[in-house]
Amino acid sequence: MSRYASAGGGPVNASREFKQMVKALHSAGIEVILDVVYNHTNEADDPNPYTTSFRGIDNKVYYMLDNDGKLLNYSGCGNTLNCNHPVVMELILDSLRHWVTEYHVDGFRFDLASVLCRGTDGSPLNAPPLIRAIAKDAVLSRCKIIAEPWDCGGLYLVGSFPNWDRWAEWNGKYRDDLRRFFKGDAGMKGSFATRVSGSSDLYKVNKRRPYHSINFVIAHDGFTLYDLVSYNSKHNEANGEGGRDGSNDNFSWNCGFEGETDDASIRALRSRQMKNFHLALMISQGVPMMLMGDEYGHTRYGNNNSYGHDSSINNFLWGQLDARKSDHFRFFSKVIEYRHAHKVFSHENFLSKTEITWHEDNWDNYESKFLAFTLHDSNGGDIYLAFNAHDFFVEVILPPPPSKRSWFRVVDTNLNSPDDFNLDGLPCKGNTYNIAPNSSILLEAKF
């Protein structure tokens, strides 16, 4: 696309600059995952035809149609690509191979990938030819392949996406369960424990591993992290669709006031909640995914479907990042560094009973919103974690640390920066810890 080139430099320059970008990122140790949309084209629906590509050339081949020749709409965009037709399959596979061989991208995230699991009449397929072909293709074999395992027609395949032990998935249940736990919904403790420990209920099948779960709380669709803790409802008036667009099921909590406020207590609670979400994401088994901007607390002012705005609500605001480098951003970056430095958070296989201890004796207590557990390190550097979603303090008795070690506090999300994260840790006094409302702690066993 010409507009992707510097100063509108044309398609050749756009292609060259993309290659230069990939090369520079690879030099910095950063992989490139391309977000691809093969579920629809831009040609809209039957009442609003927009002819730019396949429309009118061979609708029967390229689109899913009903018995009257009308476009089926499983994409939410008016049309649905006929992905498992041999001709369309070939087009998609050639496209993917091109991105790998010509641009050297490292993998793909497939938008509304459940569409790719439908037959020519729209019915779900148990073994979709396209999905299998992508998994088995010689050129694509080294690539990471990630499915968004649902579509707008209700085909929800989280945990059951046809995978050939290759496909990873956006774990939508992880997103929803963590949101509900931290907003204080009752009965979520068991689900929260399952999600942070790798979602074995979804992915411990055949040769799948924890890394087949792409864990996330926030994505490009929906609320930012800041808005998740600042709005109970979407505010999409600026989109021009009368507020009908965007998800209504956000599992968000505004912490006591809708939108911006000068109330110090509400602002402090929102800060804690954002840190709670981030800590949980970074200590979870599986692959963590963040949204750009959450590291400085970006807001779209409650708009959860902002894709059409070329403005500050979608722009990365470098000034805000600079302003928050010593507090919010510091905590987020330090926790990411901590995950990288401790392999106990990224096991190759699902956790065994010797690798985690749940400090829990009332799993069936529907009103309990507190969870604590210890991740055991083979070298004795155990890590104790506790998450308190109650609106009151919870005093816990700490488990005995490994031999000759003591517990040191690395994280307490209730504390202000820089005390909320201390890499060296501060020694814990006594064998109890009083965990503040809506906060989390991380303790490390050290000599």
296 within a domain of the structure (yes/no): yes
In the numeric block, the tokens 């470098």 are attached to 318
CATH, residue 11: 3.20.20.80
* 438: region left, alpha or beta (phi > 0 left; psi from -120 to 50 alpha): left
Average pLDDT, the chain: 96
- Other beta carbons within 10 Å of 127: 9
In the chain, the number of structural domains is: 2
The tens digit of pLDDT for each residue in 121-160 reads 999 999 999 999 999 999 999 899 999 999 999 999 999 9
The answer to whether residues 327 and 388 belong to one domain is: no
350-363 tens-digit pLDDT: 999 999 999 998 89
Q: Are residues 120 and 191 in the same domain?
A: yes
Confidence of residue 302 (pLDDT cuts 50, 70, 90): very high
How does strand 439-446 pair with strand 383-388? antiparallel
At 92, is the secondary structure helix, strand, or coil? helix
Confidence band of 254 (pLDDT split at 50, 70, 90):
very high
Q: Which 3 state secondary structure label does DSSP give 374? A: strand
Same-domain status, 415 and 320: no
| 80 within 8 A of 39, measured Cβ to Cβ | yes
Q: Are residues 327 and 433 in the same domain?
A: no
Residues 53 and 161 in one domain: yes
For residues 115 and 88, is the Cβ–Cβ distance under 8 A?
no
Distance CA 216, CA 220 (A): 11
pLDDT for res 299 = 98
My answer on whether 144 and 86 are in the same domain is yes
Model confidence pLDDT, tens digit, residues 39-51? 999 999 999 988 8
Longest CA–CA span in the chain (Å) reads 76
SS3 384: strand
Q: Measuring CA to CA, which residue among 208, 57, 64, 216 is closest to residue 125? A: 64
Strands 370-375 and 383-388: antiparallel
Specify the pLDDT at position 2: 84
Q: Which domain holds residue 152?
A: 2-345
Length of the chain: 447
Give the contacts of 370 (CB within 8 A, at least 6 positions apart): 189, 386, 387, 388, 389, 390, 394, 435
Which of 441, 430, 444 shows the shortest CA–CA distance to 375? 444
Does pLDDT of 382 surpass 90? yes
Asked if residue 421 belongs to a domain, the reply is yes
Tell whether 350 is covered by a domain. Answer: no
pLDDT of residue 1: 83
Q: What pLDDT score was predicted for residue 3?
A: 84
Does 366 fall in a domain? yes
Q: Indicate the range of 27-31, 55-59, 405-409 predicted with least confidence.
A: 55-59
Assess whether 161 and 38 both reside in one domain. Answer: yes
Average pLDDT over residues 80-85: 98
Say if residue 243's pLDDT is above 90: yes
Residue 7 has pLDDT above 90, yes or no: no
d(C-alpha 364, C-alpha 11), whole Å? 60
Same domain, 265 and 125: yes
How many of the other CB atoms lie within 10 Å of CB of 355? 17
Asked if the structure places residue 175 within a domain, the reply is yes
Nearest-5° angle of CA 374, CA 379, CA 382? Answer: 15
User: Would you name the residues annotated as active-site residues?
Assistant: 111, 148
Would 295 be classed as within a structural domain? yes
- Single residue among 290, 314, 345 that ends a domain in this structure: 345
Token output for 237: 């008036």
Q: What H or E segment, with its residue span, contains residue 332?
A: helix 328-341
Residue 191: the pLDDT is 98
Of 319, 345, 371, the one marking the end of a domain is: 345
pLDDT value of position 362: 86
Strand, coil or helix: 153: coil
* pLDDT over 70, % of the chain: 100
Radius of gyration of the chain (CA): 24
Question: What pLDDT score does 435 carry?
Answer: 98
pLDDT digits (tens, 9 = 90+) for 386-395: 999 999 999 9
Indicate the Cα dihedral angle 349, 354, 356, 359, nearest 10°.
Answer: 160
Distance of alpha carbon 32 from alpha carbon 21, whole angstroms: 9
pLDDT above 90 covers what percent of the chain? Answer: 95
**Domain check: are 23 and 121 in the same one?**
yes
> What are the pLDDT digits (tens) for 259-290?
999 999 999 999 999 999 999 999 999 999 99
Question: Other C-beta atoms within 10 Å of 63: how many?
Answer: 24
> Does residue 340 share a domain with residue 400?
no
Last residue of a domain, one of 292, 315, 345: 345
Q: What is the mean pLDDT of residues 210-239?
A: 97
Which DSSP category does 65 fall into? B
- pLDDT confidence tier of residue 55, bands split at 50, 70 and 90: confident
**Tokens 């510097």, located at residue:** 6
* pLDDT for position 357: 98
* CATH (domain of 415): 2.60.40.1180
Classify the phi-psi angles of 286: left when phi > 0, otherwise alpha if psi is within -120 to 50, otherwise beta.
left
Residue indicated by tokens 């496209």:
95
Examine residue 179 and state whether it is found in any structural domain, yes or no.
Answer: yes
The reply to whether 304 and 371 lie within a common domain is no
Helix H or strand E segment including 387? strand 383-388
Residue 343 has pLDDT above 90, yes or no: yes
Distance CA 264, CA 65 (A): 56
* 149 shares a domain with 195: yes
